Chains A and B, each alone.
Chain A
Amino acid sequence: MATDADSAGVLGRFVDAIHGPNTMGESRRFWAAFGVVALLMVTFPLYMLESAVTNMSQYLALTLLALSLAVVWGFTGVLSFGQVAFFAVAGYTYGIVGINVAGPLGTMAGLFVAVGVAALFAAVLGYFMFYGGVSDVYVTIMTLVVVLVLKTFLDQTAGDKWTIGEAALGGFNGMPGIPDLALGIGEPFLVFDDFTLFYAALLALLVTYLGLRALLNSDYGRVMVAIREDEDRTEMLGYDVKRVKLTVFTFGGALAGLSGVLYVTYFNYISPSELSLTAASLPVIWVAVGGRKTLLGPIVATVAIERLGLFLSVNVGDWAFVINGLLLLVIVLLLPEGLVPGLRDLVSWIGDRRDEGGTDDTTEPSGEVIE
């Protein structure tokens, strides 16, 4: 645990809080690399085309969706296919509020209402599942069914009957004209489009990543991991497993909702296709490929898979799905713990070979077991 943090008060405590056995990346080398990547991301618009920057905002928004599943599944052991439901519910809610309440206040209110509605939806669903004794694979099935029911419902919401104020749900054609997120009272002083949306998404990701590191290494995070590892043992240590699962599931719904809001402000549009079977399985793929017991894995995998998907669909058309799918299968079969833990093990293996018994800088002792 390489933290010389005791000297530095609040900062020291923050540094301590984001380090621990439940997240990887402890060494100076890790944080140096993290700084380099952060700098590259901050300066991204300087050396990339505008289209690449705006595409990146979309991927960054989706990393929050991936992280919502990493928290619920990767760290608490509840495999949910329902993250896209909270994502879409927030997207639609933001659209309804933003279209009906003009100006930046409407969009700011829309953001909070949307995230709140997504969290409430997750809380209600979670309550009936966890307190109704639904567990393991049945949670997975139920969440998938919820997604498909929601899609079926939204598909048939065409026409005036399904108009809320001035916002038409629009059936399978979706809801256009969703305003950009904006800050201000009356006149907006900051509108999140193109570059500003990129920075908003980047900031949201950075805050979420560091916040989740602190959460997962806290006492509460350790209980989450304990539930993933052995639910019965954890209950029999006096922890209210159902309540922890409900809380985490609700939080995951809120995070997926935030992702949904950022995503619809990028397209100014949402449709029920966000709730297709493919869309519902994408977060599971991002998280599984990247490494479900990590935070970095899902982030990296989301950006990589989405970018690769774009590249393939431009260059090989419909074959993109096939090639992408095969790549995912190969990765999951070769590296069952995911890409990022696989790379981590590779780096530490090379390090071990280079300096036998030297400085322990690439991994911490328990890093092989959990991360």
Chain B
Amino acid sequence: MSDTADGMDPAVKQTSAELATGVDTDTILKTEGITKRFGGLTAIDDVDFDVEAGELRCLIGPNGAGKSTLLNLITGALSPSEGEVYFRGHDITEMDPHERIRRGLSIKFQVPSVYEDLTVRENVRLPIQRLASGAERDERMADALAAAGLSAKADVAASALSHGEQQQLEIGMAASLDPDLLLLDEPVAGLSVDERAEIAERITQLNEERSIAFVVIEHDTDFVAEIADHVTVLHQGETFREGSIEEIETDPEVQRIYLGGETDA
């Protein structure tokens, strides 16, 4: 009746898994031959995707390339048809999403998923109340509100926030879990230039000051160029290219798949 899988000591498990798999500790996330089929459609086909600790990685690709599916396989929202996912050296392929989150993974969904009927303060409280209580909780909530630029709107219902503020709020909630790796699915879609700049600054700051590694799905190449060290291009469910933003931007094959008949975003 109780979920027996929970309550294990991550540190112990991690060490034994490292010995078993030989994954080096700088690699925070690793997928091995991960494949996801929906009936006859192969959305993700044998992808090996590695992220280093503290890295800021962008994941790009035309619509339908499998970017969101890959994130869902990493968080456990979907289970793979084949392959494994390792996080901090431990095989998490069979774990429920909340167990992965407790090990240091966090995600901001594509559509802003804040609790619309709750106040901004209650939204921020939910991730933090699991980790801290008393004065520490109050302090962390105040910090999270300030970082999201929403201190003045703490008692407003989240549904009353603008789209950009909701994105900031959800990034703030995801970041307040103190993750080692934060997955962001299109954090600046539909935002103004100013709002994009704010989000870019926020991501860079979280990455540099708190050494959070990022995987960011984004279409906007200017935005990608502003934040990313390293870019992975997915195409038709497979890893198409990996490299620096300069290499990717000037790669004629990448330009071809973006322009060549695919519906662009």
Contact = CB atoms under 8 A, between A and B. Distances in A.
A369 interface: yes
A223 B125 CA distance: 10
Given A219-B129, A238-B98, A233 B109 contact: yes
Which of A237, A240, A369, A370 gathers the greatest number of chain B CB atoms within 10 Å?
A: A237
Interface string B94-130: 0011100110001101000111111100100111011
Interface stretch (B1-9, B35-43, B205-213): B1-9
Nearest to A120: B1
B75 interface: yes
B113 A232 contact: yes
Nearest to B179: A238
Interface residues of B, number: 33
Interface in A317-371: 365-366, 368-370
B120 to A, nearest CB: 10
A239 B119 contact: no
Which of B106, B125, B127 gathers the greatest number of chain A CB atoms within 10 Å?
A: B127
B144 to A, nearest CB: 13
B103 to A, nearest CB: 9
B130 A239 contact: yes
A225 interface: yes
Contact of A222 (B75, B107, B122, B157): B122
Given A236-B106, A238-B98, A238-B101, A366 B115 contact: no
Contacts of B101: 235-238
A370 B107 CA distance: 26
A232 B159 CA distance: 18
A189 to B, nearest CB: 38
Contact of B177 (A123, A229, A238, A369): A238
Nearest to A238: B101
B157 to A, nearest CB: 4
Interface string A234-273: 1111111111001000000000000000000000000000
Contact of A240 (B75, B77, B98, B129): B98
B113 A365 contact: no
B231 to A, nearest CB: 25
A242 B3 contact: yes
A187 interface: no
Interface in A104-148: 123, 127
Contacts of B6: 240
A122 to B, nearest CB: 12
B247 interface: no
Given A230-B115, A233-B115, A236-B75, A369 B157 contact: yes
A222 B129 contact: yes
B126 A243 contact: no
A309 interface: no
A237 B174 CA distance: 7
Nearest to B6: A240
A366 B157 contact: yes
B56 interface: no
B1 A236 contact: no
A21 interface: yes
B138 interface: no
B235 to A, nearest CB: 27
Contacts of B177: 237-238
A238 B102 contact: yes
Given A232-B77, A239-B98, A242-B3, A366 B119 contact: yes
B125 A222 contact: yes
B85 to A, nearest CB: 15
Interface in B1-47: 1-3, 6
A246 B3 CA distance: 11
B155 interface: yes
Contacts of B117: 229, 369-370
A71 interface: no
B173 interface: yes
B173 A237 contact: yes
A21 B177 CA distance: 23
A219 B129 CA distance: 7
A212 to B, nearest CB: 19
30 contacts: A21-B118, A21-B122, A123-B1, A222-B122, A222-B129, A226-B118, A229-B115, A229-B116, A229-B118, A232-B109, A232-B113, A233-B109, A233-B115, A235-B98, A236-B101, A236-B106, A236-B109, A237-B126, A237-B127, A237-B130, A238-B102, A238-B177, A239-B130, A240-B3, A242-B96, A243-B2, A365-B155, A366-B157, A369-B159, A370-B117
Q: Which 4 A-B pairs have the closest CB atoms?
A: A238-B101, A369-B157, A233-B113, A229-B115
Interface of A: 21, 123, 127, 219, 222-223, 225-226, 229-230, 232-243, 246, 365-366, 368-370
Given A123-B1, A236-B106, A238-B102, 12 more contacts: A21-B122, A127-B1, A222-B122, A222-B125, A236-B75, A236-B101, A236-B107, A236-B109, A237-B98, A237-B130, A242-B3, A369-B117
